[in-house]
Structure 1
Amino acid sequence: MSSVVQAPATVPGAKGHTDGAGAFVPVQTRSERPHSFDPADFGAPAGFEVNWKHTPIARLSAVFTDEETEAGPDLAIAYDLAAIDDYVVESTGHEAAVRGEFFRPDDLSSAIAWKRSQNALHVRIPADTEPADALTLGIVGRGAERHANAHIILEALPNSKATVVLAHSGSAAYAQNVEIIVRDGAQLTVVTVQRWDEDAVHVSSHQARVDRDARLRHIVVSFGGGVVRVNPSVELAGAGSEAELYGLSYADAGQHLESQVYLFHKGPETRGDVLYKGALQGVGARSVWIGDVQIGPDAVGTDSYEANRNLVLTDGARAESIPNLEIQTGDIRGAGHASATGRFDDEQLFYLQARGISEEEARRLVVIGFLSEIVQRIGIPALEAELSEAIEAELKEGTAQ
């Protein structure tokens, strides 16, 4: 497949930019970022690039290595296909049907994952069908020293309705592309859960196209892993299409949990809702959220809102939150963004303690109430219960430290 890199614009007499960009105007908006199927077109990140400068790139060396990964039965990643086996269709080679219909690698790790994943794992929901249960794909790493690449396709055919869960555990250095196509009238929920071991590295590019009158709910849940970077990019291409993008993270000491979210309203009468929430505790705990919403020139009637909220529980933890909004038409219903990062609300704590609740229990209730808004939107009771228990365990661990 041919390369489609966008070359940076040069400016006569320009001096080097403070970001290290050289004598050209650096990429400022998400829509301007280059795309290519060839890893050589990107080069190794140096740490000043707009899409890497908040990421600990020194910890990602494995996913920046363009070399063949393990083959044979003892792979670095084991996939449990039992729950989705009836919906898996053949996808052999880079030119297989659907693969690359929308996905375009937008950084080095996603380009390497494309190149080194000869075959894709393609999950297709037939038209006019609705599986009775959520379709869970288990993804288990077999060791942090082992490296794996993957390209996964999730395709909902017209008027279908389904929920797909990507459940990550174990440990590995894992570069993953997820291509999501929601065709006319379909409703698809994608939940990606990262409960890796503490030494895992997971870098994932999720790219989705939502067609006419279709709806995508995309939920990122990151609790485990050393460095976890899941970047969803969603294009509302069809008239009347909708997207709800939710995220939940809980970072402990030394963990880096990141999501760079891009929502592009391309078609008319589209609706988008973005809400990510995170809690952090421990020295070196870090979260990064960058939210880009673009309303294109043809996206009349758009209704869009994005927000990020972070709760910092201890000293030494840090949350970065950067919302951006680009509007190219004035004929919209509404658009806005918000971001807030802070510690406990003293008024909430006072209210609870004034009613005989201990300070420790009051703090626990505040955190659970803060995060449960996202948990309750998942819509899978068993997974919601599992995540509620995980939040309780994180709180107990933080109290014990």
Structure 2
Amino acid sequence: MTITETEPVFVPVQTRSERFASTDVADFDAVTGREATWRYTPVARIATLFEQGLDGSRYEYDLRSDAGVSAEWVARDHELVGAAGVPEERASANAWSSFAEALLVTVTGQPGEAVLTRSTLGTADRAAHTVIHATAGSSATLVLRNTGDASLTENVEIVLDDGAQLTLVSVQEWSDESRQVSTHFASVGRDAHLKHIVVTLGGSFVRLNPAVHLAGPGAEIEAYGAYFADAGQYIEHQVYVFHDDQHQRSRVTYKGALQGASAHTVWIGDVLIGQKAVGTDSYEQNRNLVLTDGARADSVPNLEIEIGDIVGAGHASATGRFDDEQLFYLQSRGITEDEARRLVVRGFLVEIVQQIGSPELEEHLQAAIEAELAGGASAGERA
């Protein structure tokens, strides 16, 4: 019998957890836009953020806290760097290869609020790395506020020790020309609870992808997102939740509004219930409200289940235009059409904003949403 050698058979990735990962940008091929993780993304708009040698030096930030939260710069070899996740795509790996020091934010206190603001990153391409460590038994709300100019690729690692309770709010109010590519890696320990909230209003291009590993029994994640895309604006969120132990719970709710020509949003939700995740309770949903012609919302929920003994798992997605009956009802009460539309959108997004739990920030964001609506009233022909 003659044995002949054959070419290796290509076996595609079978589950979300099998994707290739590396902290070295050289391990990733050039991005073409045909890759699974980039298939909806206009990669030409961020081409320079894939190039090696980005500025990864320190930057100015402002931290205000009444919650036992501190911040310091640490070396790349700090024990917490890499504790929450590893890049699965080139932009994230480029940020990892480029940063000189990581900003370590440590949460040790009891209930309170801290706000970390970045407003002077500038227009030059740069990389950054942030590690947020919630110590065992701690409880706090941490707000990451992004304003001003930016051309940024970054990684944010979120590590919750056993029993920690953290609400993390990431607010994107960049200038109109700013670009941001960000991956939020989270590792949630035994009986710890992470509430992760993303509010994206500003920037020309924002891609912010949370990847959550529920690592310990009883771990929980509530992931919320609210976004508003104007004419020419691109906003993308890819959310990944990995249930990897017993009796865990996850809830994912993202809601977006779009108005104006070429406004484009992308939401992809991946939930993986692993072989050890007995008693999992999981649900993810995405809702989009299209306000004008010419806007586009892509929404793709995915669910993988590797074990049968779970409490429940489900997903939902819906994209639609204004409800004519709602508008008719409001107008019949003497409200103008423009005001009625604003009320509908505000009510649509307020569910997410109210999850923050900070009255001052919630009021600011509701005013910002009103400004987006007023500013884009003539952005395009109404749907």
* Residues paired across the two proteins, number: 374
Alignment of 1:1-400 (within 5 A): 24-27=10-13, 29-69=15-55, 71=57, 77-83=59-65, 87-88=69-70, 90=72, 92-126=74-108, 129-130=109-110, 132=112, 134-144=113-123, 146-400=124-378
Unmatched runs of 5 consecutive residues or more in structure 1:
1-11, 15-22
Question: Cα distance, 1:64 vs. partner?
Answer: 0.6
Question: Cα distance, 1:171 vs. partner?
Answer: 1.1
* Comparing 345-354 and 261-270, the one that deviates more: 345-354
* Comparing 357-366 and 291-300, the one that deviates more: 357-366
Q: Name the amino acid aligned to 1:45.
A: V
Q: Matches of 1:218 and 1:276 in 2, distance apart? A: 11
Question: Cα distance, 1:84 vs. partner?
Answer: 8.6
The Cα offsets for residues 113-150 of structure 1, whole Å up to 9 and x where unpaired, read as 11211211111112xx3153x21111124433x02211
Unmatched runs of 5 consecutive residues or more in structure 2:
1-5
Contact 2:56 2:101 in 1 (8 A): no
Contact 1:349 1:359 in 2 (8 A): yes
Alpha carbons of 1:124 and 1:392: their partners in 2 closer, same or farther (altered >3 Å)?
A: same
Q: Matches of 2:274 and 2:56 in 1, distance apart? A: 42
Contact 2:106 2:134 in 1 (8 A): yes
Q: Matches of 1:68 and 1:203 in 2, distance apart? A: 13
Question: Cα distance, 1:32 vs. partner?
Answer: 2.1
Q: Name the amino acid aligned to 1:226.
A: S
The Cα offsets for residues 229-287 of structure 1, whole Å up to 9 and x where unpaired, read as 00001111111111000000000001000000001111110000000000000001000
Q: Name the amino acid aligned to 2:33.
A: G
Question: Cα distance, 1:100 vs. partner?
Answer: 1.1
Q: Name the amino acid aligned to 2:300.
A: I
Contact 2:217 2:247 in 1 (8 A): yes
Alpha carbons of 1:398 and 1:154: their partners in 2 closer, same or farther (altered >3 Å)?
A: same
Give the secondary structure class of the aligned counterpart of 2:168.
strand
Q: Name the amino acid aligned to 1:137.
A: L
User: What is the root-mean-square deviation of aligned Cα atoms in Å?
Assistant: 1.9
* Comparing 84-93 and 282-291, the one that deviates more: 84-93
Q: Matches of 1:231 and 1:189 in 2, distance apart? A: 17
Give the secondary structure class of the aligned counterpart of 1:374.
helix
Q: Matches of 1:152 and 1:223 in 2, distance apart? A: 22
Q: Name the amino acid aligned to 1:95.
A: D
Q: Percent identity?
A: 54
Contact 1:91 1:97 in 2 (8 A): no
Q: Name the amino acid aligned to 1:164.
A: L
Alpha carbons of 1:33 and 1:259: their partners in 2 closer, same or farther (altered >3 Å)?
A: same
Contact 2:74 2:103 in 1 (8 A): no
TM normalised by structure 2 equals 0.93
Q: Name the amino acid aligned to 1:93.
A: A
TM normalised by structure 1 equals 0.89
Give the secondary structure class of the aligned counterpart of 2:84.
coil
Q: Matches of 2:375 and 2:211 in 1, distance apart? A: 33
Q: Matches of 1:218 and 1:29 in 2, distance apart? A: 24
Q: Matches of 2:249 and 2:35 in 1, distance apart? A: 31
Question: Cα distance, 1:90 vs. partner?
Answer: 5.0
Q: Name the amino acid aligned to 1:261.
A: V
| More RCO (CA 8 Å, sep 6+) | 2
Q: Name the amino acid aligned to 1:135.
A: A
Q: Name the amino acid aligned to 1:62.
A: T
